[in-house]
Amino acid sequence: MAEWFQDNGLLLGLALLDGLSSAGLIFLVAVGLNLVFGVLRIVNVAHGSLYAIGAYSAASIGIFLASLGLPGWASIPALVVSAALVGAVLGPLIERFLLRRIYAQEEVVQLLVTFALFMVLEDVQKLVWGVQPIHHDTAMTLLGTIDIPFAGDVIPFTNYQLFVLPGFAVVTLVGLAWFLRRTLTGRVIVAVTTDREAATAMGIDASRIYLLTFSFGAALAALGGALSSPTAALVPGIGAQTIVLSFAVVATAGLGQIEGAALTSLMMGLGRSIAVYFEPELEVVVPYIIMVLVLLVRPQGLFGVTETRRV
C-alpha cells in the first residue's frame, strides 16, 4: 500500500482536487433541479439547457467586456450577472407560459413537455452561438495557480478551481439552508412543498411560490454553467451531459433533499475524477454505478423518505 501510494500519490492528489472542483459544479446544477422538483413536483429535463445557456452567456459577456477594453477582473462578476439574467428572464417565461399549463397533467406528459423544451433550447443555442467551440478563460487565468504539497510532491492547481468553484457551492448550500429555514419566504416555500392544498387554504399564493422557485432553480443551473465556462471549451451537447449527471445525483440523494445533494455530488465528483486518472474507461459509468448501488439498498435515495401518497 505504501509503495502504491508513493508511486501514485501525485495522481491521487490531482484526482482529489479535480473531484472537489467538479463536485462544486455538479452540486450547483443538481440542487437547482432538486429544489424545483421538491416544490413543483416536475422533473425538468430542460434544466440542462439552462446550464448550457448560462455557460454560453457568461463567455459571451466576458468576450464582449474584453472587446471594450475593460480589465480582466470585470469578467468575474460577469459570471454571476449572466446567471442572474438567465434566471430572471428565462425562468419566469418557462414557468408562466409552459409549466403552469401542465402541473395537473400526468408525470409522463410533464416529462415529454420538458424534454421537448430541452430540444428546442438546444437548437436555439446552435442558432445563437453556432457549433464551433467557444472559450473564455480570463477569470481562471487572472486568479493564477497555487502549489499544493501532497505525498512528497508539489501539485500546481488553479485558484479558480480550488477556491471559487467549491466556495460557491458551500455558500449556496449554507445560504439556501438558511433561507428555507430562517426566512418567512423560505418557510412558505417549505409549506407549499409539504402540502400545497393546505398552504393555499391558509392564504398562500402557491402560483407565486412556483414562479419564484423555478426562477431561482433556473438561476442556479445557469450559475453552474457560468462558473464552468472558464474551465473548458463550450460545445453543443454540454447541457445533455450535465442533466443526466444531475439526475443521477438527485436520484441517489433522494428527491427534494438539498444537503443530501451536496454529499452525493461530492461522491460523484470524486468517483468520476479518480476514474479519470486511474481507470479512464470507467469515467462515464462510475456515477451511475454509485447510483445503482445506492438505489438497490435504498430505493428512495440515501436521504430520501418514503412518502404517503394522497388520493
Q: Which of 45, 23, 26 is nearest to 36 (CA)?
A: 45
Q: Which amino acid is present at 96?
A: R
Tell me the three cell numbers of residue 294: 445506492
Alpha-carbon span 160 to 145, nearest angstrom:
8
Q: Which residues of 187-215 are buried (b: 16+ CB within 10 A; e: fewer)?
A: ebbebbbeebeebeeeebebeebbbbbbb
Tell me the three cell numbers of residue 102: 401542465
- Per the CB < 8 A criterion, the answer to whether 207 and 19 are in contact is no
Instruction: Say what the pTM is.
Output: 0.93
| Proportion of the chain in helix, strand, coil states, percent, rounded to 5 | 75, 5, 20
- Per the CB < 8 A criterion, the answer to whether 258 and 35 are in contact is yes
Helix (H) or strand (E) holding 266: helix 258-278
Length of the chain: 311
Write out pLDDT tens, residues 42-82. 889 999 999 999 999 999 999 999 899 888 888 889 899 99
Q: Which amino acid is present at 233?
A: A
Q: 286 Cβ partners below 8 Å, 6+ apart? A: 268, 271, 272, 274, 275
Higher pLDDT, 6 or 302: 302
Three-class SS state of 186: helix
**Which of 25-29, 74-78, 136-140, 306-310 shows the lowest per-residue confidence on average (mean pLDDT)?**
306-310
- Per the prediction, the chain carries an average pLDDT of 89
Residues in a beta bridge with 258: none
Using the predicted structure, report yes or no on whether residue 256 has a pLDDT greater than 90.
no
Write out pLDDT tens, residues 272-290. 999 999 989 888 899 999 9
CA 138 to centroid of chain Cα atoms: 22
CA 188 to centroid of chain Cα atoms: 24
What confidence category does residue 311 fall into, taking pLDDT thresholds of 50, 70 and 90?
A: very low
Q: Can you tell me the mean pLDDT for 153-174?
A: 92
- Per the CB < 8 A criterion, the answer to whether 227 and 32 are in contact is no
Q: Residue 42: what pLDDT? A: 87
Three-class SS state of 103: coil
What confidence category does residue 195 fall into, taking pLDDT thresholds of 50, 70 and 90?
A: confident
Alpha-carbon span 247 to 228, nearest angstrom:
18
Alpha-carbon span 177 to 154, nearest angstrom:
36
What confidence category does residue 309 fall into, taking pLDDT thresholds of 50, 70 and 90?
A: very low
Write out pLDDT tens, residues 198-226. 888 888 888 999 999 999 999 999 999 99
